[in-house]
Amino acid sequence: MSQFLVKEGVKNQIRKGEKLVTTHCCYCGMQCGMHIRVNEKTNKVVGVEPRYDWVLTRGKMCPKGVTAYQTVDHPDRIKRPLIKKNGQFVESSWDEALDLIENKYKELQRNYGKDSLSVYGGVSMTNEKCYLVGKYARVALGTRYLDYNGRYCMSSAAGGFNKTLGMDRGSTLPWTELEHTDCFFMAGSNTAECHPTSIQWFWKAKDKGAKIIVADPRETATARVADVHLDLLPGTDSALANGIMHLLIKHDYVDNEYVQERCNNFGELKEMTAKFTPEYTSKITGISVEKIVKAAHIFGKSPRSVVMFARGAEQQTAGVDNVSLYTSMALLRGQIGKFASGVATFTGQGNGQGGREHGQKSDLLPGYRKLTDPKAVEYISGVWGIKPEEMPKPGVSAYEMFDLMKNKTIRGLHVICSNPVVSSPNINHVYEALRELDFLVVSDFFLSETAELADVVLPATTWAEDEGTTTNIEGRVIHIRKVVEPIGESKPDWEIMSLIAERMGKGKHFQYREPREIFNELRLASKGGKADYYGVTYEKIDEQDGVFWPAPTEDHPGSPSVFKEKFATEDGKANLAVCDWKGPAEVKSTEYPIWLTTGRVVFHYLSGNQTRRVGFLKEQCPEPFVEMHPELASQYQVINGEKVKLTTPRGDMIVPVKITKAIRKDVVFVPYHWGKELAVNQLTSPALDPISRMPEFKVCPVKLEKLAK
């Protein structure tokens, strides 16, 4: 189970009485390599040791990674199933908890049909588990209502990539090539805080003279050193991308040969971008004309460039448009499919990439197959051992599931690896929806805000108590090792799902003794699909420092770079995006005169259910704050540290002010890692992107009030 791997010549500290287990961080998509220190006598996790020879991260970690091990033996761990009796959680046996779940599930389905149950998954867990969530919902429960927290994370990137390139691999190139890139165009990514260890590659490239262009309403650590900081208004990315493309065309920076051979829609794109003169673009985005022009020239002149974006551009009602347009910038320059150039999104969650490929999404099946495609349904039904007619139809997206709970279409919910009452937009609505449920089951290892509402809480394991694979930010499938046995009576999610399946009479479809068997089934299920894992094995991962998908055959080494010859669209050509700027769903008014945007801080991960419990991280950032420009603060006569009230039509919150010039004067920023009265998601907008169904977390107008003495 445990293995300590290092390349020759690499020294690590191994203390007396301890052993190291080689694995990766549990948090963000960087999936930094690390060794976990285990006391050989007590078999307890005691610390961390850098993994200097992991190819992507070279021993580097952010403070979340350094302290990740502290969640394993944490005093807050849930060690036995909890059943709510008279409003209080009471510890119970697994049998009692499973009995209750079985009875309730069966009763609900008997009275209200199969689709009265639903499953809400997450992607901060292994491919094996993510894959099984889809199978659990569709085979064990037989419900169509299944979606996952990746809807709030990667869905717009997925939508944009599928539309333009025909396939959604988060990065078209391996990130170890980034040091050779001449220019980075980064939009809506605070990568220094959200993916800190990626910085080594950007700084390395910068040491060699690479240019950096950053589009962000805030002067982030990357924007601070950028050659151009495009300080755009939230919600104006499509105007900016169109504006840059206008200039690329005007100044002859287009790689005509590439575009002619490999792309569709150039004529239409030219027409669409015609009106996006620097002046027009500047009016919409709030960026000065000079900066836009300077950025276009730097980007246009760079022989090797990578266009990158993250939630800032994606969590908008125009998220898919933004991704398609930014991707098109790379296409116009003929960059995709070449060395040290291309396009990439920053995957937020540890397995945000793998977790979205294998059928946790309401309309997808493993291998990125579509649930609406009869052939795909037939193939997967075969792998799962069910009849194609038994396969449930597509359901609805994450946020829309809550509407169905409110109107009682959905009556039972199983939340696995997620905390939607913190991470959803407009959470007051989400709370109301969950209160309407007849039965809520939550699997987690800490009592999250969502778990507090549950009827049954099932104790899951942390990442260190189970083996499996994840797929990192690059599309590289990597190996997570089991470090210790599950704590208390906790069980890995795959085992929990299998146990419930058993109770629902579907046990024969869930006969797994270890994750490797699930992975082998996943390999088969993904075979021939776009995200083809058939050629990925645990052994190959260890041998060659991970395997990039697609890897269609057993002797295939994997595909570090994609789209070298053709794109994954039907005609093999990329579809350049022809999209106008639409503007965010909500507009400013005299009542709500400031823009609110949200994001992360380096010390916390997602809903904070894990990181808010870790000493060092909590000390560094114990509560949310609202970041604002001194000019705005002066207009409201508030000082640093003073508490103010923020209000949108959906809710309000009181937060202390943090004053800095490193943000636009008309925008305020609040990090989202806290729940209840500290949650900025009480305020955020649930308006959805029409294609990806991604909510517009990043843009909404807000009212700011000084509190009366």
The contact set with ligand SF4 (CB under 6 A) reads 25, 27-28, 30-32, 61-62, 64-65, 195-197
b/e map 653-664, b = 16+ CB within 10 Å:
bebebbbeebbb
* 626: nearest Cα among 586, 577, 663, 587: 663
Q: CB 194 → ligand SF4: shortest distance, Å? A: 8
Q: Distance between CA 692 and CA 151 in Å, rounded?
A: 8
Q: CB 493 → ligand SF4: shortest distance, Å? A: 20
Q: Which is nearer to other proteins, 310 or 336 (CB)?
A: 310
From the list ligand SF4, other proteins, none, which binds 659 (C-beta under 5 to 8 Å, kind-based)? other proteins
Q: Which residues, in sequence order, are CB contacts of 513 under 8 Å at separation 6+?
A: none
From the list other proteins, ligand SF4, none, which binds 220 (C-beta under 5 to 8 Å, kind-based)? other proteins
Binding mask 619-638 for other proteins (x = CB under 8 A): -x---------x--------
Alpha helices per DSSP H over 504-591: 515-526, 538-543
Half-sphere exposure for 579 (CA within 13 Å, toward CB):
28
Tell me whether residue 114 is exposed, middle or buried, using C-beta atoms within 10 angstroms of its C-beta: 0 to 12, 13 to 18, 19 or more.
middle
Candidates 59-67, 272-280, 380-388, 665-673 — which segment interacts with other proteins by CB under 8 A? 59-67
Q: CB 425 → other proteins: shortest distance, Å? A: 27
For 363-429, give the DSSP string: TEEGGGEETT-HHHHHHHHHHHTS-GGGSPPP---HHHHHHHHHTTS--EEEEES--HHHHSSSHHH
Q: Distance between CA 40 and CA 212 in Å, rounded?
A: 47
Q: Which is nearer to ligand SF4, 195 or 304 (CB)?
A: 195
CB neighbours (10 Å) of residue 649?
15
One residue of 6, 39, 63, 645 binding other proteins per CB under 8 A: 63
Candidates 53-61, 472-480, 490-498, 512-520 — which segment interacts with other proteins by CB under 8 A? 53-61
Do the Cβ atoms of 105 and 504 come closer than 8 Å? yes
What separation, in Å, do the N-terminal and C-terminal C-alpha atoms of the chain show? Answer: 61
One residue of 7, 85, 224, 275 binding other proteins per CB under 8 A: 224
Which tokens is 523 given? 């390999």
Instruction: Please list every residue from 574 through 603 that binds other proteins, using CB under 8 A.
Output: 602-603
Q: Distance between CA 518 and CA 503 in Å, rounded?
A: 19
Q: Which residues, in sequence order, are CB contacts of 636 under 8 Å at separation 6+?
A: 644, 704, 705, 706
Q: Which residues, in sequence order, are CB contacts of 371 under 8 Å at separation 6+?
A: 362, 363, 364, 365, 377, 391, 393, 394
From the list ligand SF4, other proteins, none, which binds 200 (C-beta under 5 to 8 Å, kind-based)? other proteins
One residue of 259, 295, 427, 659 binding other proteins per CB under 8 A: 659
From the list ligand SF4, other proteins, none, which binds 13 (C-beta under 5 to 8 Å, kind-based)? other proteins
Q: CB 26 → other proteins: shortest distance, Å? A: 15
| Per-residue CA distances from 445 to 31, 83, 486, 490 (Å) | 20, 15, 11, 8
Binding mask 184-223 for other proteins (x = CB under 8 A): --------xx--xxxxx--x---x-x---------xxx--
Asked if residue 520 binds other proteins (CB under 8 A), the reply is: no
From the list other proteins, ligand SF4, none, which binds 27 (C-beta under 5 to 8 Å, kind-based)? ligand SF4
Q: CB 44 → ligand SF4: shortest distance, Å? A: 21
Which tokens is 543 given? 């041998």
Q: Which is nearer to other proteins, 47 or 388 (CB)?
A: 47
Asked if residue 6 binds other proteins (CB under 8 A), the reply is: no
Asked if residue 112 binds other proteins (CB under 8 A), the reply is: no
Q: Distance between CA 192 and CA 200 in Å, rounded?
A: 10
Q: Distance between CA 506 and CA 509 in Å, rounded?
A: 6
One residue of 13, 103, 511, 635 binding other proteins per CB under 8 A: 13
b/e map 458-488, b = 16+ CB within 10 Å:
bbbbbbbbbbbbbbbbbbbbbbbbbbbebbe
| Per-residue CA distances from 504 to 86, 105, 395, 459, 616 (Å) | 27, 8, 21, 20, 43
One residue of 8, 9, 11, 257 binding other proteins per CB under 8 A: 11
From the list ligand SF4, other proteins, none, which binds 662 (C-beta under 5 to 8 Å, kind-based)? other proteins
Q: Distance between CA 577 and CA 593 in Å, rounded?
A: 32
Asked if residue 658 binds other proteins (CB under 8 A), the reply is: yes
From the list ligand SF4, other proteins, none, which binds 647 (C-beta under 5 to 8 Å, kind-based)? none
For 102-125, give the DSSP string: HHHHHHHHHHH-GGGEEEEE-SSS
Angle 278-285/289-301 helices, nearest 10 degrees? 120
One residue of 19, 47, 388, 583 binding other proteins per CB under 8 A: 47
Q: Which is nearer to ligand SF4, 31 or 341 (CB)?
A: 31
CB neighbours (10 Å) of residue 627?
19
Q: Which is nearer to ligand SF4, 238 or 419 (CB)?
A: 419
Q: Which is nearer to ligand SF4, 61 or 371 (CB)?
A: 61
Q: Which is nearer to ligand SF4, 135 or 195 (CB)?
A: 195
Q: CB 429 → other proteins: shortest distance, Å? A: 34
Task: Give CA torsion, residues 41, 45, 50, 53, to 10 deg.
Answer: 70
Asked if residue 59 binds other proteins (CB under 8 A), the reply is: yes
From the list other proteins, ligand SF4, none, which binds 39 (C-beta under 5 to 8 Å, kind-based)? none
Candidates 1-9, 43-51, 178-186, 408-416 — which segment interacts with other proteins by CB under 8 A? 43-51
Asked if residue 225 binds other proteins (CB under 8 A), the reply is: yes
Q: CB 280 → other proteins: shortest distance, Å? A: 31
From the list other proteins, ligand SF4, none, which binds 25 (C-beta under 5 to 8 Å, kind-based)? ligand SF4
Which tokens is 504 given? 């629902």
Q: Distance between CA 500 and CA 504 in Å, rounded?
A: 6
Asked if residue 429 binds other proteins (CB under 8 A), the reply is: no
Q: CB 48 → other proteins: shortest distance, Å? A: 6
Q: CB 31 → ligand SF4: shortest distance, Å? A: 5
Q: Distance between CA 40 and CA 375 in Å, rounded?
A: 51
Using CB under 8 A, list all residues that contact other proteins: 11-13, 15, 47-48, 50, 52, 59-63, 65-67, 192-193, 196-200, 203, 207, 209, 219-221, 224-225, 602-603, 616-617, 620, 630, 640, 658-662
